[in-house]
Amino acid sequence: MFTIEHEFDSTVITLVDENNTPLNEDVTINSFAECVTVEQYDPRTDSVQKITLSHLMVRDLAAALDLPEGVYRLVGED
């Protein structure tokens, strides 16, 4: 399950794990004009872990999900 919310300065997508146990914590993706952040609560450290991706990195990640093993560079889509 996931939700999509439009905030003032970003679009927020929350991914909710509905698989069999053990369930993972929700993942929150914030898409800003300049970057995308991915956050997930880590109960081991009692803190939220965050990574920041450029929009080009997100594009490459989306493409990589459907490609076989190898090294790739997407061209002509900048």
Residue 28 falls inside a structural domain: yes
Domain-embedded: residue 26: yes
Q: With the C-alpha atoms ordered 43, 45, 47, 51, is the resulting torsion angle positive or negative? A: negative
Whole-prediction pTM value?
Answer: 0.84
| Domain that residue 44 falls in | 2-64
pLDDT at 75: 85
In a domain, 23, yes or no: yes
Alpha helix ranges (H) inside the chain: 55-64
56 within domain boundaries: yes
Which has the closest alpha carbon to 3: 30, 23, 24? 30
Query: Is residue 69 in a domain?
Result: no
Tens of pLDDT, residue by residue, the chain (78 residues):
999 999 999 999 999 999 888 899 999 999 999 999 999 999 999 999 999 999 999 999 999 998 999 999 988 765
pLDDT value at position 64? 93
Which helix (H) or strand (E) covers residue 49, if one does? strand 47-53
Cβ atoms of 14 and 6 within 8 Å: the answer is no
Structure confidence at residue 19 (pLDDT): 85
In what helix (H) or strand (E) does residue 31 lie, and over which residues does it extend?
A: strand 27-31
Provide the domain count of the chain: 1
Residue 47 covered by a domain: yes
Q: Is residue 75 part of a domain?
A: no
